[in-house]
Structure 1
Amino acid sequence: MKRIALFLITNIAVILVLSVVLSLLGFTGILDETGVGLDYGSLLLFAAVFGFGGSFISLAMSKWMAKRMTGAQVITTPRNQAEAWLVETVKSQAARAGIGMPEVAIFDQDTPNAFATGMTKNSSLVAVSTGLMRTMNKDEVEAVLAHEVSHIANGDMVTLTLIQGVVNTFVIFISRVVGYFVDRVILKNEEGLGIGFFVTSIVAQIVFGILASTIVFWFSRQREFRADAGGAKLAGREKMISALEKLRKSMTEPLPEQMSSFGISGKTGDHGLKMLFMTHPPLEHRIAALQGKSIQ
């Protein structure tokens, strides 16, 4: 219930902020001055503000949201040797990767998982689950941390935000154009924007959004391969392979939906068309890539 409330409050806040931004930019509507045609400039402005604005506000709030949705506790003063080792390992890897020291946190989850998030390379968060600390040895945990540090060093959070912003903009823009066409050409509405515009726009946005998400998911899968390679460089290839093997053999509890693309865990097996909608490549593919094997 707490996660749902946070999600709703965040989205309402984003809509309010973006509405104020549009007002400040002088946005008055997507119809032209005569009310008989689309104002494509205003429509593109509307689409870009909501497309990019929502993505960047979500990125700016990502650390705050991640801590509250997973219950991650940042290690400010290590309470034991394990926490001290975590902090020192991340500190060493961050220095070698050329980024600022991330916050290091632990969240309570029985299965092994980890994630990294944050708006910039020098203001980020790396978190591991209690299950990961229990089921993996130090070499494997080191590799997982290196994978997450590599995500930060590669700027993956910002890159994915930009891609999502572009996709969102085109989806919002095109769905409104389709809605306008249906409303004016097919339903013959000549006064303002009718119900046909709003219904069609919503349906088109859902359909185009689903199709466009495959682009975002493709980029997300590619960044996992890059982060695995970066983790292998920082911690060692065999350690990275061993960590992925351990994940493959574990039943992994997923992270909250809004954070699924930031976690290390992925599914196993060949999923066919389902692969198009996966944020992570199958673990077998990731292991094969590190071993230099071709994927059949």
Structure 2
Amino acid sequence: MMRIALFLLTNLAVVLVAGIVLNLLGVKSYLSQSGIQYGSLLVFCFIFGMTGAIISLLISKWMAKRSMGVYVIEQPRNAEEKWLVDTVAELAHKAGIGMPEVGVFPSDQSNAFATGWNKNNALVAVSAGMLRRFNKEEVKAVLGHEVGHVANGDMITLTLIQGVVNTFVMFFARIIGYAVDSFLRRDEESSGPGFGFYIATFVAEMILGILASMIVAWFSRRREYRADHAGATLASRFGMIGALQRLMAEQGQPVQMPAEMTAFGIRNGGNSIAHLFATHPPLEERIRALQSQQ
């Protein structure tokens, strides 16, 4: 229920902010009696596409804490929490970023994630299950992987890519919708779009959205190799390999994270056609990449 409420609030914020920006810029309707105004359409799609991605980034920490039930360690209550905070502080110093917030989320699955719009004010969280099953060298490597995401600016990069992709999906879907509607109503004299425009636009957005998600997933997989390298460099290559090998033993378990958070986790992946939509490369490939490093 909480995730549904957060999703609805986020989309409401997108509509409100995008509407205000469009009004301030004086952007008029992109449809007129003479046809599509491509300049207005592009601005409309860019504002909505980027607004959604940017708002999601700005509230990513807030969303993660609530959707994942993250307990943020402000004052360590025991030796394990103190070790976690001290380890992240060490890794952040090596990576040249500000100290992130450190948290633990209640999941029996071994996982971790990092998020936040500012590399000097991020959040790094690890699951309770990972802390129970992984040794300290492996947990440190995973934390190094997540700190690497923050230091590399992966959250911002992926947000910009998502915003640009959203823009072009909306842009071309409306052009396709208008073309289909014009063809269906070519013998009518009424002006303005008909139901064909909205139906065709919706279908085109679904199809183009699927193709676009493959592009975003490809970029996401590339950044995972960089984050693995960061975990190996900041912590330990053998620890990073060991952590990925442990994850392989749990590979059959479903990912217990909201869809919007899986791209920022340590585990995910797939084979065959599913691989095209996976935000993470197969664990076997990640291990081979680390083993080939000198």
Q: What are the within-5 Å matches in structure 2 for residues 243-258 of structure 1? A: 243-250=243-250, 251=253, 253-258=255-260
Residue in 2 aligned with 1:260?
262
Q: Secondary structure in 2 aligned to 1:115?
A: strand
Contact 2:269 2:279 in 1 (8 A): no
Q: Does 1:97 align with 2:95?
A: yes
Q: Over aligned residues, Cα RMSD in angstroms?
A: 1.3
Contact 2:14 2:52 in 1 (8 A): yes
TM-score, normalised by the number of residues in structure 1? 0.95
Contact 2:262 2:268 in 1 (8 A): no
Deviation at 1:252, TM superposition (A): 5.5
Deviation at 1:243, TM superposition (A): 0.6
Tell me the amino acid that sits aligned with residue 145 of structure 1: L
Take 1:231 and 1:18, find their aligned partners in 2: how far apart are those partners?
38
Q: What are the within-5 Å matches in structure 2 for residues 116-265 of structure 1? A: 116-188=114-186, 190-250=190-250, 251=253, 253-265=255-267
Q: Secondary structure in 2 aligned to 1:123?
A: coil
Aligned match of 2:61 in 60, 63, 80? 63
Deviation at 1:266, TM superposition (A): 2.1
Residue in 1 aligned with 2:31?
31
Contact 1:115 1:262 in 2 (8 A): yes
Deviation at 1:267, TM superposition (A): 3.8
Q: Secondary structure in 1 aligned to 2:31?
A: coil
Residue in 2 aligned with 1:279?
279
Return structure 1 stretches of 4+ with deviation > 3 angstroms.
none
Deviation at 1:236, TM superposition (A): 1.3
Contact 1:31 1:37 in 2 (8 A): yes
The alignment of Structure 1 onto Structure 2 pairs a total of residues equal to 289
Structure 1: gaps (5+ residues): none
Take 1:221 and 1:254, find their aligned partners in 2: how far apart are those partners?
19
Contact 1:252 1:265 in 2 (8 A): no
Tell me the amino acid that sits aligned with residue 54 of structure 1: G
Take 1:15 and 1:136, find their aligned partners in 2: how far apart are those partners?
43
Residue in 1 aligned with 2:106?
108
Q: Secondary structure in 2 aligned to 1:109?
A: coil
Structure 2: gaps (5+ residues): none
Contact 1:113 1:252 in 2 (8 A): no
Distance verdict in 2 for CA 1:117–1:103, change over 3 Å: same
Deviation at 1:255, TM superposition (A): 0.9
Deviation at 1:103, TM superposition (A): 0.5
Residue in 1 aligned with 2:19?
19
Distance verdict in 2 for CA 1:174–1:45, change over 3 Å: same
Contact 2:107 2:256 in 1 (8 A): no
TM-score, normalised by the number of residues in structure 2? 0.95
Q: Secondary structure in 1 aligned to 2:35?
A: coil
Q: What is the identity percentage for the equivalent residue pairs of Structure 1 and Structure 2?
A: 56
CA deviation string 1:15-58 (max 9, x = no partner) = 122112111111221124xx221111100000000111110110
Q: Secondary structure in 1 aligned to 2:36?
A: coil
Contact 1:114 1:263 in 2 (8 A): yes
